[in-house]
Amino acid sequence: MIAVLEILLAGFSILPALADEEPYVHFVKGVMAEQDGKFRQALAHYVSALSEDDFCWTPEGEEEIRQRAIKLAQKIQPPPAIPEKVHRHMARGEAFVESAKDKDGYLKAVREFQNAVNSAPWLADAYYNLGVVQDKAGLYQQAIQSLKLYLFAAPAAPDTRTVRNLIYKIEARQEEAR
């Protein structure tokens, strides 16, 4: 079975050592459902692959899953519903930002927005909020990646130039921090 999966996934940057890990299985099922045109089912598998708390994808692998989820969500009509727990995480993240006085306060917000993007990886606003708060917490590389995912999820957003400029500013802060 592992050899079949490796052939199926040739060209993908996701090949963890243990192909029987649950998140990896969800990813494979997502790819198969996507190839069969079952976009909602594929999206659900990608969300499950990202939602495993104790599993760590490579940064490239995680980005690939997020991009696949975003592309799928853009094809699905009507668009996928945003789960209530995502609204909860977004509101809690905003509350932590409002009360943040230091890096630890911003890290609480980061965790909430991260939970939001894991539960709805197609949601552009969650990536934007996550990126802004990661920047405030000094997590510059992650902030840049989150803002790039925002632009990927919302390519026609009216604030595209502003967000690109923010990415450049974060890159400068990252250089200064080194």
Q: Tell me, what's the pLDDT at 18?
A: 46
The answer on 161 and 94 residing in a single domain is: yes
Choose one of 53, 75, 97: the last residue of a domain.
75
Q: Tell me, what's the pLDDT at 71?
A: 97
Retrieve residue 120's tokens. 């709805």
For the cut 90, the answer to whether the pLDDT of residue 5 exceeds it is no
Q: Could you tell me the CATH number of the domain that includes residue 133? A: 1.25.40.10
Choose one of 57, 75, 93: the last residue of a domain.
75
Q: Is the dihedral of CA 173, 105, 50, 162 positive or negative?
A: negative
Q: Tell me, what's the pLDDT at 51?
A: 87
Containing domain of residue 144, as a range?
A: 84-177
Closest by Cα among 29, 32, 31, 28 to 16: 28
Question: Hunting for tokens 């969500």 — which residue is that?
Answer: 73
The answer on 88 and 71 residing in a single domain is: no
This prediction has a pTM of 0.88
Q: Tell me, what's the pLDDT at 65?
A: 95
Total domain count, the chain? 2
Retrieve residue 90's tokens. 């977004």
The answer on 169 and 112 residing in a single domain is: yes
The answer on 106 and 52 residing in a single domain is: no
Q: Tell me, what's the pLDDT at 22?
A: 87
Each residue's pLDDT tens digit, 85-138: 999 999 999 999 999 999 999 999 999 999 999 999 999 999 999 999 999 999
| Residue 159: alpha-carbon gap to chain centroid | 20
Q: Assign 3-class secondary structure to 97-145.
A: HHHCCCHHHHHHHHHHHHHHHHHCCCCHHHHHHHHHHHHHCCCHHHHHH
The answer on 118 and 62 residing in a single domain is: no
Q: What angle do CA 73, 115, 17 make, to 5 degrees?
A: 80
The answer on 67 and 101 residing in a single domain is: no
Each residue's pLDDT tens digit, 18-77: 456 888 899 999 999 999 999 999 999 999 999 877 678 888 999 999 999 999 999 999
The answer on 161 and 88 residing in a single domain is: yes
Choose one of 75, 109, 126: the last residue of a domain.
75
